[in-house]
Amino acid sequence: MEREPGAAGARRALGRRLEAVLASRSEANAVFDILAVLQSEDHEEIQEAVRTCSRLFGALLERGELFVGQLPSEEMVMIGSRGAMRKYKVWMRHRYHSCCSRLGELLGHPSFQVKELALGTLMKFVQLEGVHPLEKPKWEGNYLFPQDLFKLVVGGLLSPEEDQSLLLSQFREYLDHDDIRYHTMRAAVDTVARITGQHPEVPLTFWNNAFTLLSAVSLPRREPTASSFYVKRAELSDTWKVAHLKEHRKAFQAMWLNFLKHKLPLSLYKKVLVIVHDAILPQLAQPRLMIDFLTRACDLGGALSLLALNGLFILIHKHNLEYPDFYRKLYGLLDPSVFHVKYRARFFHLADLFLSSSHLPAYLVAAFAKRLARLALTAPPEALLMVLPFICNLLCRPPACRVLVHRPHGPELDADPYDAREEDPAQSRALESSLWELQALQRHYHPEVSKAASVINQALSVPEVSIAPLLELTAYEIFERDLKKKGREPVPLEYLPAQGLLGRPGDICAQHFTLS
C-alpha cells in the first residue's frame, strides 16, 4: 500500500481500503494493507489502523461474513473444491484472528493511548462475537461466549513484563457486568496457571498485575433481581451458570485459591491479608478453605502474622473453625518492638477485638495484661498513654484478673513468679503475679503517664475506656499538647521586689542579691 505521510494521510488511505473491502469481496486482499499498518512504529498510525479494523471486522461479524464452526487450516480450504463463498469466509476469519492477535500484542504497547484503544476494540469484538457466535451451539439454548478471545484479553492484562495497573483500572468498568465478571475469574485461573508453568521464577510485575485484577472483582451480596450482561441476550436461561450468584462464588473461590497456593512475594502477602477479612472471606463459597493460606502467613511473623490472625479470627467466630494455637500466636507477637512499628495502631485495635470475648479464661487475659505491663516499662510515652487504659480494660473483663492489682488475702511475694520467657500463656504463671509495673509507672517522668498509671489506685470502672482515640497518638502530638497548656499564675521567686538597677548606695548589695 502506498503510504501517505502523516496520520491524516494514513486515515484517508485506510478509509479508502475499508470502503473497498466492505463494498466488494474482490477487494479482500486490501485487508493485508490494513493489517500491515498495525505493525507501524508511529503511534497515531497504529491508532488509525485499530479504528479501521474495528469498523471492518465489526461489520463483517454483523453481516455474517466470517466462517462459523471449527476453523480449518487456510491451505486445505484453498486447495479444496468447496465453494468460493466458504473459501472467502474461512480466509477472512483467519485475517480476523491475525487482527485479534496483533491487538493482544498492542495491550503491551508503550503508548497508553494505543493500549486503551486496543482494549476497547477487543472488548467490542467480544460483545459482537457473543451476539454473532463463531462457533455452532451444541444444543438449542446453549450458552455461547467467545472464551478464547476473552482469554487473549485477560492474558494481555496480566503481563509478566509490564505494569498494567492503568489499563486494569480501565478494565474495571467491564466487571460490573455479570458475564464479564464470571469469565474474568475463569480466565484468570488459566492465565495464572500458564504463566507460573512457563516461568521458574515468576516476575513480581505479573503478581502485582494479577492481584490488581483479582482484587477488582467484587460479587453482589445477594442474588440480583436482574442480571447485567455485557453480551446482550434475547432471553436468559436458568440453566446458564453465569446467571447464578452461587456459581460466581465458586468461580471467585477457585480464582483466589489458585492464586494463593503459589509462593507469593512478601509484599503481596501483605496486600492480600489487608483485604482478606472484608473483600475475600465473605464472598467465598467455602471460607474455611482459606485456612492453609492463613496459617502459612501466620508463621511469617511480624505484621503478616497479625493480619493473618485477623482472618483466622473471622473463621473461628463465624465459621466454627478450630485453631487452638490462635491466642498463643498472638501472645508470641508481644515484644518490645510492637510499640515502635508502623502498624502499632492496627495491632492494638485487633488485639482489643481478639481479647474482647467474656468467655476467655482468666489465666489467658491475665497473661496478656502481665506481658503488656512488663513491656510498658520500656515503652515511649505515646504508647504508654494507649497501653495503660488497654491493660485496665483487660482487668475489667474477667473479675478473677483483679487479683493482679488487689490480693487482700494473698501471700507476700519475694520474687515475681511470672515467667516472661514462657511462650505458652497458660504456663506463664501470670495469675500468681501482680502488676507492680503499673505502680512503678506512677513515678514516670511524664505527668500524663503517671496519671494514667494511677488509675489502678481507684476502683476500676465497669464501662471500659475506649482506646480508639489513643491508637494513632504520636510523640509530636503529645509535645504540641504540652506546649498549648496554660500554666498557673506566675510564682514569685524573690522576697523583695527590685527597685531598679541603680538606687541608693546602701541598697546596691540588696538590689544585687535580689536581681541575682
What pLDDT shows up at residue 454? Answer: 92
- Evaluate if residue 513 carries a pLDDT over 50: no
Under a CB-based contact definition with an 8 Å cutoff, are residues 362 and 408 in contact?
no
CA distances from 170 to 107, 119, 166, 487 (A): 12, 9, 7, 58
- Residue 73: the pLDDT is 87
Does 2 have pLDDT greater than 70?
no
248 vs 413, residue with greater confidence: 248
Given a contact cutoff of 8 angstroms between Cβ atoms, the answer to whether 433 and 417 are in contact is yes
Torsion over CA: 133, 138, 141, 143 (sign): negative
Calculate mean pLDDT across residues 294-304: 89
Query: Can you read off the three cell numbers belonging to residue 369?
Result: 495484661
- Averaged pLDDT for residues 356-379: 94
Q: How far apart are CA 93 and CA 41, in angstroms?
A: 26
Name the grid cell of 274. 489487608
CA distance 61 to 302: 56
Q: Tell me the pTM.
A: 0.84
Q: Residue 183: its pLDDT value, please?
A: 97
Residue 231 has pLDDT above 80, yes or no: yes
Helix (H, G, I), strand (E, B) or coil at 341: coil
* Cα distance between residue 142 and residue 241, in whole Å: 11
pLDDT confidence of residue 462: 65
User: 224 pLDDT exceeds 60?
Assistant: yes
* % the chain with pLDDT above 90: 69
The single residue listed with the C-alpha cell 501483605 is 270
Confidence grade of residue 372 (pLDDT, cut at 50, 70, 90): very high
Q: How much is the pLDDT for 515?
A: 42
CA distances from 73 to 82, 94, 152 (A): 13, 9, 20
Q: Which triple of cell numbers denotes residue 73?
A: 487450516
SS3 5: coil
Contact 389, 452 (CB under 8 A): yes
Q: What is the pLDDT of residue 500?
A: 72
CB 107 within 8 A of CB 115: yes
- How buried is 315 (Cβ within 10 angstroms: 0-12 exposed, 13-18 middle, 19+ buried)? buried
Grid cell in block for residue 459 = 476502683
What pLDDT score does 512 carry? 45
How confident is the prediction for the chain on average, in pLDDT?
Answer: 89
For a pLDDT cut of 70, what percent of the chain falls above it?
A: 92
Structure confidence at residue 80 as a pLDDT band (50, 70, 90): low
User: Is the sign of the CA dihedral 356, 361, 367, 370 positive or negative?
Assistant: positive
Q: What is the pLDDT of residues 450-478, one digit of tens each?
A: 999 998 888 776 678 899 999 999 989 99
Rounded to 5°, the CA angle 233-168-284 comes to 70
Residue 117 has a pLDDT of: 97
The length of the chain, given as a count of residues: 516
Segment 212-221 shows an average pLDDT of: 94
CB 282 within 8 A of CB 218: no
pLDDT of res. 370: 96
> Which of 108-112, 135-139, 179-183 bottoms out in mean pLDDT, i.e. has the lowest?
135-139
Lowest mean pLDDT among 1-10, 244-253, 451-460: 1-10
Average pLDDT for 161-169 = 96
pLDDT at 230: 95
Cα–Cα distance measured from residue 279 to residue 219, given in angstroms and rounded to the nearest whole number: 9
Instruction: Give the N- to C-terminal CA distance of the chain in Å, as an integer.
Output: 101
Q: Indicate whether 139 pLDDT > 90.
A: no
> Is the per-residue pLDDT at 238 higher than 70?
yes
Q: Is the pLDDT of residue 494 over 90?
A: no
Rounded to an integer, what distance in angstroms lies between the CA atom of residue 402 and that of residue 444? 23
Cβ burial of 397 (10 Å; 0-12, 13-18, 19+) is: middle
Name the band, by pLDDT with cuts 50, 70 and 90, for residue 504.
low
Greater confidence (504 vs 248) lies with 248
User: CB of 107 within 8 A of CB of 167?
Assistant: yes
Please determine, for residue 507, whether its predicted confidence score (pLDDT) is greater than 60: no
Does residue 159 carry a pLDDT above 80?
Answer: yes
- Contact indicator for 134, 97 with CB cutoff of 8 Å: no
Task: Give the distance from CA 499 to its chain's centroid.
Answer: 73
Query: At 7, is the pLDDT very low, low, confident or very high (cuts 50, 70, 90)?
Result: low
Residues 452, 387: Cα–Cα separation, whole Å? 10
Q: Cα separation of 150 and 153, whole Å?
A: 5
Rank 218-227, 229-238, 439-448 by mean pLDDT and report only the highest. Answer: 439-448
User: CA–CA distance from 132 to each of 96, 119, 129, 216 (Å)?
Assistant: 14, 20, 5, 29
Residue 496 has pLDDT above 80, yes or no: no
Q: What is the pLDDT of residues 319-362, one digit of tens each?
A: 988 888 999 999 999 999 999 888 889 899 999 999 998 889 99
pLDDT at 516: 42
Band the pLDDT of 514: cuts 50, 70, 90. very low
Top-ranked range on mean pLDDT: pick from 186-200, 221-235, 309-323: 186-200
Residue 506 has pLDDT above 90, yes or no: no
